[in-house]
Amino acid sequence: MKKITLLLCLLIMSLAYGQPGSPAPTPTNANIDVISVYSDAYTSIATNLDPSWGQATDATDIQISGNQTLSYSGLDYQGLDYTSSDVSAMEYVHLDYYTTDATSFQFFLIGGGENAYDIAATDGITTGQWVSIDIPLSHYTVPNLAQVAQFKTVGNGTLYLDNLYFWKAPAAAGTDTSLSDLTVDGNTISGFSSLGSNYSVELPSGTVAVPTVVATTTDSNANNTVTPAASLPGSTTILVTAQDGTTTNTITINFTLDPTPATAAPVPTKSSSDVISVYSDTYTSIATDLNPSWGQATTMTEIQITANNTLKYANLNYQGIEYTSSDVTAMEYIHLDYHTSDATAFQFFLIAGGENGYDIAATDGITTGQWVGIDIPLSYYLNAGRNLATAIQFKTVGNGTIFLDNIYFWKTTVDPVTDATLTDVKVDSETIADFSSAVINYEVVLPKGTTTVPQITLATKSHSGANAVITQAPQLPGDATVVVTSEDGNTTKTYTISFSVNNNSACEGTSSDATEGSFSVGYDYHFETLETGTTDVKVTFTLLDEDKVGYVPQVFIAPSTFINMAADGSTYTATLTDQTGTISFSIRGAHSTGLVTSQLFEYTVGDTCDALSTQNFEIVGLEIYPNPTSASWNFNTKDQNIESIEIIDMTGKIVFTITPKTSSTVIDGTNLPAGMYISRITTEKGTQSKTLIRN
């Protein structure tokens, strides 16, 4: 009686939590016709049942009556990694599922791309019982069936999965060309599958003898012919002929040689005082993550070559390095040493308030088979708009296998008696934002209404023997200067600080910012709430460009509202009726050569903008990069904590909110649909909005 009561309790608990009362059916396909990813019935190749893809799903491996089963609760999406496999000889992918509440269910195959089979739409979802699904592999047109490596499940509710495997119909009598074993120098080849047709084997560097390959047919009446590679690197082929004498299958083993250099990269000779090292055994380095998860296909490993740490990028498409955010404005070059035997493409990106790449292959050419030192002028990145005061990441893009070492910033050693630089300039006792010894021109925008001329209160010389003369700005706007003369009197530098007053507000101002197209000069804008009520807003827009022939603007309120503007020469007006709260809009106009759209404006109905509006506050030092992005956005401010960030789609819906309470943070955009978004960033000093683009 106690046993029956216990069984009833377990059944009630199972039903209450939606868990199956019995395991999935036991598969009946023969081993020879199956490549199993996850199933107790076969030897399976799953390597990670819960990879970190940013999912909300709670994935667990549970037992139901002694049978291992996958449980996906709170499902949004969930991945499963397995050994890369050639399933081109298979016909179906099989799975068993159980659910009591799922209403959406897609199953993705991933290998050099991905696409989904929609079980809910194609077969419908049956609840409360185990259901078997056999998806034709012909459905998956995007993945390369010779190298699949992952599954992805997308849906909702709670799903239980078991018996995930590829299978084919048994071969007809006399037509079996499968193998029961395939050995290289006496050892079964890695990733062996009875129906596999392509394998890759990397041999130690310097190998000369072609390995011995032995194939064993599953059908003893079949035969095989092995044709060894002519040399290394090269390919050995196996031709299997079935008993019927006509059915054949060709198997290829591609032998490559380990491209690891025999010697380490040259030891750098720069003085450590002239270097900021990211990765090098010679210096104290600042790398924080040598293999950040950016969705790359590259296999990154840190190896030792004659006791020297070296980066190896195999199967390179792109690869990142993250390091402590650094001011490298005083540096002149980025140095790196590389070695490759097969790369034909090679770009090196600096990420600092955005990114751009130096194309080594196109600019210098790629030399193979030896260590090559490259020194990239930092002016290349500076001229492309990078902020050298906030260097934070490198990215390498290319192909093949590349080894890297000694990645560092450096500058030429300066003779102290010729040094005419400053190490610090303070205005009203505060160091100028983004100050660098190498940068001599600065613009300081003062708050609206400022009348007092700021004073340079400190100019610190790099070398004590130099002389510095300060000249304060005479008025606003105006320039202050610091003229530095070296100790020997032969070198001078003039540091200029240009002061201006920000007359822009949420109500009026001048700008040339564009979210679509570009303005050659810019535009004036003015917004006011009409006296006739508190819900009507008049928008006035004056185009300063003379090249926008036939310009016809409209006020654009996302997602789909366009309000025509009346023209008076180059000034355009429109009245937005029945508005409340804070409204977001832009001015979008067509002209003879295309479209151009202003910055995004935010105006609070009823605001007279007597003081600088917090909705149009400019956060000093704010950086968002990369933008556009296909992955994540980095948000950085120089000295203000970010209280909150809201991401708003073009329908006005807030799709993401974060309260980091730090001066830098990262927002993962991989789950957002491609398109344009508005980010509203709030610090303790105010709020600013910026456009984001998700590729």
Query: For 448-471, how does the pLDDT look when each residue is reduced to its tens digit (9 = 90+)?
Result: 678 899 999 999 998 999 999 999
Residues 207 and 156 in one domain: no
pLDDT band of 5, cuts 50, 70, 90: very low
- Looking at the structure, tell me whether residues 452 and 355 fall in a common domain: no
| pLDDT tens, position by position, 179-220 | 999 999 999 998 888 888 889 898 987 788 999 999 999 999
476 in a structural domain: yes
pLDDT at 330 over 80: yes
Band (686; pLDDT cuts 50, 70, 90): confident
Q: For residue 202, tell me if it sits in a domain.
A: yes
The 8-class DSSP code of residue 364 comes to T
Percent of the chain as helix, strand, coil, to the nearest 5: 5, 50, 45
Picking from 119, 126, 84, the residue whose alpha carbon sits closest to that of residue 105 is 119
- Among 18-22, 260-264, 582-586, 622-626, name the one with the lowest average pLDDT: 622-626
Asked whether residue 287 falls in the same domain as residue 403, the answer is yes
Does residue 561 have a pLDDT over 90? no
pLDDT of residue 373: 97
> At residue 3, does pLDDT exceed 50?
no
Q: Which of 161-170, 496-505, 510-519 has the highest mean pLDDT?
A: 161-170
Q: Give the residue from 604, 639, 670 where a domain finishes.
A: 604
Token readout for 671 is 């789950």
User: Within a domain: residue 527?
Assistant: yes
pLDDT band at residue 42 under the 50/70/90 scheme: very high
What is the pLDDT averaged over residues 628-651? Answer: 80
CA dihedral 558, 562, 563, 564 (to 10 degrees): 140
Among 67-71, 341-345, 634-638, 683-687, top mean pLDDT goes to 67-71
CA dihedral (455, 460, 461, 466) positive or negative: positive
> Of the candidates 191, 174, 173, which has an alpha carbon nearest to the alpha carbon of residue 182?
191
> 15 lies in a domain?
no
Measure the CA–CA gap between 138 and 135, rounded to whole angstroms.
8
Shared-domain flag, residues 42 and 163: yes
Same domain, 252 and 277: no
| 533 and 483 in a common domain | no
CATH of the domain at 98: 2.60.120.430
Q: How confident is the model at residue 550 (pLDDT cuts 50, 70, 90)?
A: confident
221 and 206 belong to one structural domain: yes
Q: What residues contact residue 445 under an 8 Å CB cut-off, 6+ apart? A: 500, 501, 502, 618
The three-class DSSP label of residue 510 is strand
Q: Are 458 and 428 in contact (CB under 8 A)?
A: no
Q: Answer whether residue 13 shows pLDDT above 50.
A: no
Looking at the structure, do residues 299 and 400 belong to the same domain, yes or no? yes
For residue 318, what pLDDT band results from cuts at 50, 70 and 90?
A: very high
Q: What spatial distance separates the first Cα and last Cα of the chain, rounded to whole Å?
A: 63
Per-residue tokens: 567: 């023209």
On the CB side of 305, how many CA atoms lie within 13 Å of its CA?
A: 22
Asked whether residue 155 carries a pLDDT value surpassing 70, the answer given is yes
Show the domain range for 458: 416-501
Q: What's the pLDDT score for residue 547? A: 86
Q: Is residue 610 included in any domain, yes or no?
A: no
Query: Strand order of the sheet with strand 686-694?
Result: 654-658, 642-648, 675-683, 686-694
Q: Is residue 674 part of a domain?
A: yes
Q: How many helices (H) and strands (E) does the chain have?
A: 4, 54
Residue by residue, what is the 3-state secondary structure of 198-248? EEEEEECCCCCCCCCEEEEECCCCCEEEEECCCCCCEEEEEEEECCCCCCE
Please tell me the distance from the alpha carbon of residue 70 to that of residue 98, in angstroms, as a whole number: 10
Residue 306 backbone class (left: φ over 0; alpha: ψ -120 to 50; beta: rest) = left
Looking at the structure of the chain, the number of domains it has is: 6
Query: Which of 501, 528, 561 is the last residue before a domain boundary?
Result: 501
CB-based contact 388:327 (threshold 8 Å): yes
- Once rounded to an integer, what is the mean pLDDT over residues 416-421? 90
Please indicate, yes or no, if residue 10 is contained in any of the structural domains.
no
CB 622 within 8 A of CB 681: yes
401 close to 259: Cβ distance less than 8 angstroms = yes
The answer to whether residues 514 and 495 belong to one domain is no
Phi-psi region of 428 (alpha: psi -120 to 50; beta: other; left: phi over 0): left
Q: Is the pLDDT of residue 371 over 50?
A: yes
Per-residue pLDDT at 231: 92
At 101, give phi and psi (nearest 5°).
Answer: -140, -5
Percent of the chain with pLDDT over 70: 95
pLDDT of 611: 38
Sequence-ordered list of residues with C-beta below 8 angstroms from that of 78, at least 6 positions apart, any chain: 50, 53, 55, 57, 59, 72, 152, 153
pLDDT, averaged across the chain:
89
Residue at 525 is within a domain:
yes
| 207 in the same domain as 92 | no
Let me know: does 143 contact 109? Beta carbons within 8 Å: yes
* In a shared domain, residues 87 and 161: yes
Residue range 578-607: average pLDDT? 86
DSSP assignment letter at 650: T
Say yes or no: 137 and 214 in one domain: no
Are the C-beta atoms of residues 123 and 102 closer than 8 Å to each other? no
What burial class does residue 429 get, using C-beta atoms within 10 Å of its C-beta: 0-12 exposed, 13-18 middle, 19+ buried? exposed
> Tokens 């990106």 identify what position?
349
Which H or E run includes 3?
helix 2-17
- CATH of residue 467: 2.60.40
Give the helix ranges, DSSP H, for 50-160: 119-122
pLDDT band at 546 (very low <50, low <70, confident <90, very high): confident
Last residue of a domain, one of 394, 410, 426: 410
| Residue 640, burial from CB neighbour count under 10 angstroms (0-12, 13-18, 19+) | middle
425 phi, psi to nearest 5 deg: -135, 125
Could you give the 3-state DSSP secondary structure of residue 79?
Answer: strand
- pLDDT confidence of residue 614: 38
